[in-house]
Amino acid sequence: MGAIRQALQTLPAPVALIGAKDGDRHNITTVAWICQESGDPPQVMVSIAPQRFIHDMIVRSREFMVTVMGEGDEEAALFCGTKSGRDVDKVKELGLPTEPAEVIGVPRIKGALANLECRLVDSLVSGDHTIFVGKVVAATFLEGRRPLVWSRGKMGLL
């Protein structure tokens, strides 16, 4: 592994699920390349490879859910990051409880550290990924849990 790749892996990143809904099909996938990019308006950006199943779901629906993963969510994060929504209904397989979102059509994951309901405002193909920018139109947050982070190829807690 080259020095550039090793150095990039030291950047800590939040572990989150990105959810999208296309028709009746709800899909979630694990991401770590995500961050807030604006405070006014509140916006986040997420980087997703075009070959990921959820990529085109976001393009078509123009909205997505960011579910910030916390302490105790390691198994779900690993499962959702290693299985494709083309092949398995991850929400059903994991038995994740969901509830309707406040504003968008993508369900929230109940009991998550945070859920951010996002409307797509822009996208940009950059390198081997698409950067999706979403305006946060509603959110939920639970106190008392530490967020999961990804660094040096491992999940850990802040």
Domain assignment present for 157: no
Report whether pLDDT(23) > 80: yes
In a domain, 2, yes or no: no
For every residue of 8-33, DSSP letters joined together read HHTS-EE-EEEEEEETTEEEEEEE--
Percentage of the chain beyond pLDDT 70 is 99
Asked if pLDDT for residue 158 goes beyond 80, the answer is no
The domain in which residue 36 lies consists of: 15-143
How confident is residue 145, by pLDDT bands cut at 50, 70 and 90?
confident
DSSP string, 137-156: EEEEE-SS-PBEEEETTEEE
What domain count does the chain have? 1
Q: Please determine, for residue 1, whether its predicted confidence score (pLDDT) is greater than 70.
A: no
Sign of the alpha-carbon torsion through 79, 73, 121, 101:
positive
List the CATH number of the domain containing 102. 2.30.110.10
**Residue 100: is the preceding peptide bond cis (ω within 30°)?**
no
148 lies in a domain? no
CB 26 within 8 A of CB 88: no
Residue 1 in any domain: the answer is: no
The rounded distance, in Å, linking the Cα atoms of 62 and 134 is 9
Q: CB–CB of 73/150 below 8 Å? A: no
Domain membership of residue 56 (yes or no) is yes
